Structure 1
Amino acid sequence: MTTRDLASVSSLEDPVRRRLYDVVISRPEAVSRDEAAALAGIGRPLAAYHLDKLVESGLLTVTYQRLGGRSGPGAGRPAKLYAKSDREFAVSVPPRDYELAAQILVQAVAEDPGGASRAALRHAAHRLGTQLAERGRPGEARDLPHVLAAHGYAPVVQDTDGGAVIRLRNCPFHHLAQRHRELVCGMNRSLICGMVDGLRLPDWQPVLDPRPGHCCVAVEEHQPSTEEPTT
């Protein structure tokens, strides 16, 4: 834990700031001041002040973009857009370094030439995911985002032509995945597969679908086909 980490996390004690932070990380795209203010139910000047404080704390990042597709003279100034930062904050008193232990374990699995450790890791991840899902109600698809949110995935549900997809705005294992992507992403998918199986949701399928600013896993809904079989 560093002083900066503690200061950053402490800034979320302000209820307005925390509400704005939750609004931004729940959106699939970067959010403007006007949109954040409306979703948080506060005025734009107050939203702008707290959003910029969240940027100073390293919790959010800023980009600039002209909205509405306009460009050139008369298009106006680019809008200031806010999105979740990729920085991670670990705060414990006294300091603990559980990620160091995780790095050692992942390194040991990665160096196993036979692959038995890799299979055991994915099996254990699936079993743990099933146990974590026991808090939900079997067959209730709306409980899946709640289980994912409770374990740090920041899920966003999006409608698609075939049903829906849950995009994950945060990866709880981001730093590990940067060093051992194939291994950690496979473990991550197995964990979420366990959650889906624990909730008994056969129409939902975790898939590897890495995108910038998202977890490597997405959970897709596949609606049963209503077409008559051809003969």
Structure 2
Amino acid sequence: MDSSHVNTDLAELGLLADDARRRLYDFVAGHGAPATREEAAKATGIGRTLAAYHLDRLAQAGLLDVSYARSNGRTGPGSGRPAKRYSRPQREVAVSLPPRNYSLLAEILATAAESAPSGEFMAALAHAAEHEGKNLGKEAESIPAALTTAGYEPVERDDGTIVLQNCPFHSVVQDHTDLVCTLNRAFIQGTLEGTDNDPDRAELSPCDGRCCVIIHADGHGSPPDAP
């Protein structure tokens, strides 16, 4: 990570020091679908005009993506004006001082792991990930608390299914999907066991925009359609 990247990332993250921007960002990041200005303003208790200003500042800095869509889903004349919507981008922003390139380390280790004899390393990886997840689960108050600490951003659906909106290893998963998904599932199974829950509730269910694992309410059922 060179100094120009560090300075850029610091400037972007500095925007989140403002309480209103942080609340708006947190709402959009956890919303699960692109959010309108009105939705963000109502959820955070911030006036629409001020919310729009802060959301646009976050978008200009690259911390939010912008899209346009009509709320009624219609198109053509008379269908109304498309509403501006905000969502969290896949792009990562991370800063360490002095600079530390953990993504590069992970990439090198993942590449080396995939060149190891088939089966051996994956089994060791799953065991280690499950062990770490179990330790985290034992120290946490609940499944969501444990997974939040690990960076998965869990959201519980109405049916009790827990969807993980973030993959903590996103920078590596693009080139090493099988390895990262194996790690994720084993880690989450360990976390469930550590919180005295059935580890079989964790199921691999890859979908764009979220972690490849979902957690069923009772270990049964079909994966949700929504990311």
> Normalised by the size of structure 2, how large is the TM-score?
0.90
Measure the CA separation in 2 of the matches of 1:98 and 1:223: 34
The AA in structure 2 aligned to 1:182 is D
1:189 aligns with 2:185: yes
Q: Which residue of 2 aligns with 1:158?
A: 157
| Residue among 48, 64, 70 paired with 1:44 | 48
Q: Check whether the contact 1:203–1:221 (CA below 8 A) recurs between aligned residues.
A: no
The structure-2 alpha-carbon separation of the partners of 1:158 and 1:204, relative to structure 1 and needing over 3 Å to count, comes to farther
Q: Which residue of 2 aligns with 1:132?
A: 136
Measure the CA separation in 2 of the matches of 1:180 and 1:223: 27
What SS class does the counterpart of residue 155 from structure 2 fall into? strand
| Residue among 163, 168, 186 paired with 1:172 | 168
What SS class does the counterpart of residue 221 from structure 1 fall into? coil
Q: CA deviation at 1:85?
A: 0.8
Measure the CA separation in 1 of the matches of 2:61 and 2:52: 14
Q: Check whether the contact 2:27–2:44 (CA below 8 A) recurs between aligned residues.
A: yes
* Displaced runs of 4 or more, over 4 A: none
What SS class does the counterpart of residue 158 from structure 2 fall into? strand
Q: Check whether the contact 1:203–1:222 (CA below 8 A) recurs between aligned residues.
A: no
> Normalised by the size of structure 1, how large is the TM-score?
0.89
Correspondence list, 1:60-75, <5 A = 60-75=64-79
Q: Which residue of 1 aligns with 2:105?
A: 101
Q: Check whether the contact 1:27–1:156 (CA below 8 A) recurs between aligned residues.
A: no
| Residue among 55, 62, 74 paired with 1:58 | 62
Measure the CA separation in 2 of the matches of 1:115 and 1:108: 14
| Residue among 201, 214, 218 paired with 1:218 | 214
Q: Which moved more, 1:125-134 or 1:209-218?
A: 209-218
Q: Check whether the contact 1:126–1:193 (CA below 8 A) recurs between aligned residues.
A: yes
Q: CA deviation at 1:223?
A: 6.9
Q: CA deviation at 1:10?
A: 1.2
Q: What are the ranges of 5 or more consecutive residues in structure 1 without an aligned counterpart?
A: 138-142, 225-231
Measure the CA separation in 1 of the matches of 2:19 and 2:29: 15
1:90 aligns with 2:89: no
CA RMSD of aligned residues (A): 1.6
Q: What are the ranges of 5 or more consecutive residues in structure 2 without an aligned counterpart?
A: 221-227
Measure the CA separation in 1 of the matches of 2:107 and 2:152: 20
Q: Which moved more, 1:13-22 or 1:200-209?
A: 200-209
Measure the CA separation in 1 of the matches of 2:33 and 2:96: 31
The AA in structure 2 aligned to 1:193 is Q
The structure-2 alpha-carbon separation of the partners of 1:203 and 1:132, relative to structure 1 and needing over 3 Å to count, comes to closer
Paired-residue identity, %: 46
Measure the CA separation in 2 of the matches of 1:82 and 1:27: 10
The structure-2 alpha-carbon separation of the partners of 1:111 and 1:169, relative to structure 1 and needing over 3 Å to count, comes to same
Q: Which residue of 1 aligns with 2:223?
A: none
The structure-2 alpha-carbon separation of the partners of 1:97 and 1:148, relative to structure 1 and needing over 3 Å to count, comes to same
Q: Check whether the contact 1:206–1:217 (CA below 8 A) recurs between aligned residues.
A: yes
As a proportion of its length, which structure holds more strand? 1
